[in-house]
Amino acid sequence: MLRWIVFIVIYITLGIYTLQAIKASTRYPWVYYAYMALSLFVLGNFIYQFTMGDAPGRVLSVPKSYAFGLLLAILTFMLITIVFLFSEDIFRFLTASYHKIFGGTKEFSLPARRRFLSTLAMGIAALPFSALLYGMIKGKYNFKVLKYNLEFDDLPNSFDGYQITQISDVHSGSFDNREKIEYAINLINKQKSDVLLFTGDMVNNMAEEMLPWKDLFSTLNAKDGKFSVLGNHDYGDYVSWETEEAKSNNLTDLKNIQKDMGFDLLLNDSRYLQKGGDRIALIGVENWGRGGFKKAGDLKKAVSNINKDDFKILMSHDPSHWEDQVLKDDYHYHLTLSGHTHGMQFGIEIPGWIKWSPAKWRYKYWAGVYEEMGQMINVNRGFGFLGYPGRVGIWPEITVITLKKRSLT
């Protein structure tokens, strides 16, 4: 209760402070009232969803995620505005102090706020505020197909031009627009890739979240099959289960759902993809993540049925696994496919110019293709979204990778 009281006091204080900028920049009372009504609605909805709203699991439900998203947007507006106001208030205080000490009057009087600065503050604050709202309305379904041609010296000849579609981090428990998901599924199928690989996190908390979308994902197709691995959210670790049996049954249900949708789920296992007289090894490990994330991945077990000299593609949900274990392994993994980071669903990307996200502060390999020690990884930015119910600058991704035989010349 004390934490809620402190939070409410801080929020209202920030709101009142921001109101000063609004009053300085406009003379229309309805603007003040609209701002106050919106601020109170966002606060009330957030308190309601996080106190009385009932949803299992530590991962935010759809109503809670929207409450969080709206709060994040308006707090961003307030804080940016306050940075300008506070800077001006320091100047106003110093000016008033100077006039009191050295001026002809002994009265301490603050100069009036400058309308221009208040308007500028709100104009700048409106940009991230609008972006966060756009991210919740449009950005989260702004699917992008990202295509890469990756060259390898020892790619078997028959696989020159072989096309892979990778998707990751579906997080079906966050979906709220069937039409947009249907569009994305059709977009995946339009790529007409040889194989489809899904690199984990089908759900947020529970297997049942996938049931409303099962029929759509069943229509995904690739001539050489669909393969998948588990991500950290797929194990049900973020739900307080009544019994361990219930948790185990949930994982079994998810495995069966993936099977029903036509996915071959690789649990520390491998398959061979055959083309002409050549073959490449496809390896899938269970989740292995640095820190407190589940470490069920077992590389040794996963490659027990393949040869060391095979051309190898590894599916591993968390890119920290590649950094911490895969690169150091005795086997050479030509290409690893991961996800997990979501690119933090926020950042700035202009191809060929800039790629930035707060995700880089936690993950060295957070989005796109990287190469180390002659081995490559692609970190998919994610198909779905989690927590904040939107995406800004880091759009939902469908990766299309074409394997190429590097020319000797």
CATH topology classification for 142-405:
Purple Acid Phosphatase; chain A, domain 2 (3.60.21)
Lowest mean pLDDT among 51-65, 147-161, 345-359: 51-65
How far the first Cα of the chain sits from its last, in Å, is 70
| Longest alpha-carbon distance in the chain | 96
Mean pLDDT estimate for the chain: 91
Q: How do residues 204-261 score in pLDDT, each as one tens digit?
A: 999 999 999 999 999 999 999 999 999 999 999 999 999 999 999 999 999 999 999 9
Q: Are 194 and 223 in contact (CB under 8 A)?
A: yes
For the chain, percent helix, then strand, then coil, each to nearest 5? 45, 20, 35
- The whole-angstrom separation of Cα 295 and Cα 289 is 6
List, for residues 167-180, the tens digit of each pLDDT value. Answer: 999 999 999 999 99
pLDDT value for 29: 85
Note the pLDDT tens digit of each residue in 120-132.
888 899 999 999 9
What integer pLDDT is reported at residue 102 of this predicted model?
60
Contact 239, 206 (CB under 8 A): yes
Q: Considering only CA atoms, which of 68, 75, 85, 166 is closest in space to residue 402?
A: 166
Work out the pLDDT band at 295, boundaries 50, 70, 90.
Answer: very high
Give residue for tokens 């804080």. Answer: 79
Give the mean pLDDT of 359-380.
96
Q: What is the pLDDT of residue 111?
A: 44
Residue 84 in contact with residue 117, Cβ under 8 Å?
Answer: yes
pLDDT digits (tens, 9 = 90+) for 50-106: 888 766 666 788 899 999 999 999 999 999 988 877 666 665 555 555 455 565 555
pLDDT of res. 114 = 61
* Residues 205 and 56 sit within 8 Å (Cβ to Cβ): yes
* Euclidean distance between CA atoms 133 and 124, whole angstroms: 15
Which residues of the chain are in CATH 3.60.21 domains?
142-405
DSSP structure string for 294-309: -B---HHHHTTTS-TT
- H-assigned helices in 214-314: 214-217, 244-260, 299-302
In this structure, the number of other CB atoms found within 10 A of the CB of residue 219 comes to: 13
Q: Is the pLDDT score of 344 beyond 50? A: yes
Q: Is residue 109 over pLDDT 50?
A: no
Question: Is pLDDT above 60 for 401?
Answer: yes
